[in-house]
Amino acid sequence: MSICRAGVCVYVYVHVCACIFAATYNLRNVTSIKTDERGLIPAIVQDAITGRVLMLGWMNAEALGRTQTTREVWFYSRSRQQLWHKGETSGNVLRVVEVRTDCDADAILVRANPAGPTCHTGQESCFYQPLLGDGALPRSGFLDELEGIVASRRASSPDKSYTAKLFAKGRHKMAQKVGEEGVELAMAGVAQDDDRVIDESADLLFHLLVLLNERNIPMRAVLERLAERHQNS
């Protein structure tokens, strides 16, 4: 068989499979998805709340169909050559919020809420081994990075760190600072310029992160509550 004829056969096979599963699972735009010669497509999973990249897996049409119908992530194991439900054994399932493709429709992005650590090693993200950079765990943004910095200062010497000094003074001092910064922000919002409002907002967010860390409350919990309120509003 010529390469051209083989390519046509692969295209027809993939297109037919896509149509069958589109009819079976009632998937939107599934016929436009481009898989490889094995009928697989890479799927990147992103934390729907923090934006952090959690893992990369592979899906076939059936895995994609189950992901959309069950609202939990399914993959196709290339080594075992079978479907697997992410978190079925550990309980750390990935609850789907949204599924979309890239511009070429040859990769999938799944935004999901993880029920626990995504990586089998117990790490929050599978992408924790650095090839280039400072070796810190991947952050979803500067607020996430700042939360990590605040946590690291908890064990530092109060003589060398303002943040450590706040931890040394205890919860009541932290709460007092949050109150003070909140009042200063409110006053700036009424009577001062935008730069002052930005400065006071930054101060409030920083001291809030310190207080949350002292209470062992991750910023993610606050973001989840905001998301819940948005869904219910």
- Rounded distance, CA 25 to CA 32, Å? 15
- Rounded distance, CA 94 to CA 46, Å? 10
Domains, the chain, ordered by start: 3-114 (3.10.20.810), 142-232 (1.10.287.1080)
Helix (H) or strand (E) holding 200: helix 194-214
pLDDT in tens, 67-119: 999 999 999 999 999 999 999 999 999 999 999 999 999 999 999 999 999 99
- Rounded distance, CA 24 to CA 20, Å? 6
pLDDT in tens, 181-231: 999 999 999 999 999 999 999 999 999 999 999 999 998 889 888 888 877
pLDDT in tens, 147-192: 888 999 988 888 889 999 999 999 999 999 999 999 999 999 999 9
- Rounded distance, CA 27 to CA 206, Å? 44
